[in-house]
């Protein structure tokens, strides 16, 4: 086998993201988890690639579709799953749920159920780092649908004006809930929005996790060296519904479009490349998948054994 260049770890992380969200979706549909989840299935290449440049001391903010981001930041899947179950063992003691997972020890400042609302948090965190003289980076994940929120524009403007260490990462799946991006955005790409604020950007194929990692590394290196903020627009495919509660409804996309999206599977693409160049054999890839499934099964068991939070604690303290 060839010496590994970190791609096996990228595959491991993407498999963990995929199996976690497959399980979460199934658990909601079976009633074992209450509420809703926004599956990240199909978009794993973006979080895994960007997460590869996430270093100790860096910070990250996420959005409503944030399970993959949390795994990229190193949040333990046991605590994530317990959070989905509303149990005390969760990263927010069961009080945050799927759309508000946070783990300050890992640098994950939190997901956010309000579209675009995490972006100004990232800018504020970056201002704090800049004032303290740290060479850290704050990664702000958001979707193309968030470009309809004024606060995203305001955040980009301030970050550019003050040269703050923010890496804006837009995951462009082309469908804001059920609205085509072409119907709600006056320009063709989110990268053009960044350019309007003087922010350098790159547009990459999210299904190519190695390309995403390389782009993220270039951006992070520039930011750490004292450069201005950067933006990466990852063009991704969301395979499933906007949210689990909509899973039973007909998908507005054509069967041909959905089939094409599945052919751009970032996991299958990397697996095939690793096998083709001799980095990993097929059984080794299967073993990584088995480990991911076992980790998720263990997380479910941990969550179900964890108690519910005590009422006195939930009413008298914040979830962090």
CA–CA distance from 208 to each of 100, 124, 272 (Å)? Answer: 28, 31, 12
Contact 92, 102 (CB under 8 A): yes
Helices and strands, number each (H, E), in the chain: 13, 8
CA–CA distance from 171 to each of 58, 146, 274, 297 (Å)? Answer: 20, 10, 25, 28
How many other β-carbons are positioned within 10 Å of the β-carbon of residue 57? 11
Cα 64–chain centre separation: 9
DSSP class of residue 36 equals -
Beta bridge partners, 88, equal none
Q: Where are the domains of the chain?
A: 7-244+256-303
Residue 139, pLDDT score: 99
Phi (first) and psi of residue 79, to 5 degrees: -70, -35
The 3-state DSSP class for residue 234 equals: strand
Lookup result for tokens 């094409």: 260
CA 26, 116, 188, 249 dihedral sign is positive
The 3-state DSSP class for residue 121 equals: helix
Residue 316, pLDDT score: 58
How many other β-carbons are positioned within 10 Å of the β-carbon of residue 235? 20
Contact 231, 168 (CB under 8 A): yes
Contact 306, 82 (CB under 8 A): yes
CA distance 60 to 57: 10
Structure tokens at 310: 């005590």
CA distance 76 to 91: 8
CA–CA distance from 90 to each of 77, 79, 103, 290 (Å)? Answer: 9, 4, 10, 24
| Per-residue model confidence as pLDDT tens for the chain (320 residues) | 566 699 999 999 999 999 999 999 999 989 999 888 999 999 999 999 999 999 999 999 999 999 999 999 999 999 999 999 999 999 999 999 999 999 999 999 999 999 999 999 999 999 999 999 889 999 999 999 899 899 999 999 999 999 999 999 999 988 766 666 777 778 889 999 999 999 999 999 999 999 999 999 999 999 999 879 999 999 999 887 666 655 555 666 777 877 888 899 999 999 999 999 999 999 999 999 999 999 999 999 999 999 999 876 665 565 55
CA distance 277 to 296: 29
Structure tokens at 294: 């076992």
Q: Which helix (H) or strand (E) holds 259?
A: helix 255-263
How many other β-carbons are positioned within 10 Å of the β-carbon of residue 140? 31
CA 71, 73, 78, 83 dihedral sign is negative
Could you please state the CATH topology (level 3) that the domain comprising 7-244+256-303 is classified under. Rossmann fold (3.40.50)
CA distance 174 to 176: 7
Going by their DSSP bridges, the two strands 138-143 and 108-110 should be labelled as unpaired
Residue 259, pLDDT score: 82
Lookup result for tokens 């999206």: 261
CA distance 232 to 216: 7
Residue 62, pLDDT score: 98
């Amino acid at each position: 086998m060839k010496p590994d260049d970190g791609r096996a770890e990228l595959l491991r992380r993407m498999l963990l993201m995929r199996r976690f969200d497959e399980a979460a979706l199934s658990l909601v549909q079976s009633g074992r988890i209450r509420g809703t989840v926004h599956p990240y299935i199909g978009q794993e290449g973006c979080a895994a690639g960007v997460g590869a440049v996430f270093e100790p001391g860096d910070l990250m903010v996420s959005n409503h579709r944030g399970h993959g981001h949390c795994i990229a930041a190193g949040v333990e899947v046991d605590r994530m799953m317990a959070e989905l179950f509303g149990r005390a063992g969760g990263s927010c003691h069961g009080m945050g749920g799927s759309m508000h997972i946070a783990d300050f020890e890992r640098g994950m400042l939190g997901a956010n159920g309000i579209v675009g609302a995490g972006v100004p948090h990232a800018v504020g965190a970056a201002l704090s780092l800049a004032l303290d003289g740290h060479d850290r980076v704050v990664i702000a994940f958001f979707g193309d649908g968030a470009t309809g929120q004024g606060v995203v524009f305001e955040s980009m403007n301030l970050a550019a004006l003050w040269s703050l260490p923010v890496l804006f990462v837009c995951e462009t799946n082309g469908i804001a809930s059920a609205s085509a991006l072409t119907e709600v955005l006056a320009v063709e790409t989110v990268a053009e929005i960044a350019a309007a604020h003087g922010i350098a950007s790159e547009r990459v194929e999210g299904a190519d996790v190695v390309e995403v990692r390389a782009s993220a590394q270039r951006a992070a290196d520039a930011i750490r060296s004292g450069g201005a903020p950067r933006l990466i627009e990852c063009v991704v495919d969301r395979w499933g519904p906007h949210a689990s509660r909509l899973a039973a409804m007909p998908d507005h996309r054509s069967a041909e479009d959905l089939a094409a999206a599945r052919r751009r599977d970032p996991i299958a693409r990397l697996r095939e490349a690793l096998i083709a160049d001799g980095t990993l054999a097929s059984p080794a890839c299967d073993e990584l998948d088995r480990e991911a499934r076992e980790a998720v099964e263990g997380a479910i068991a941990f969550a179900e054994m964890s108690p519910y939070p005590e009422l006195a604690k939930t009413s008298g303290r914040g979830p962090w």
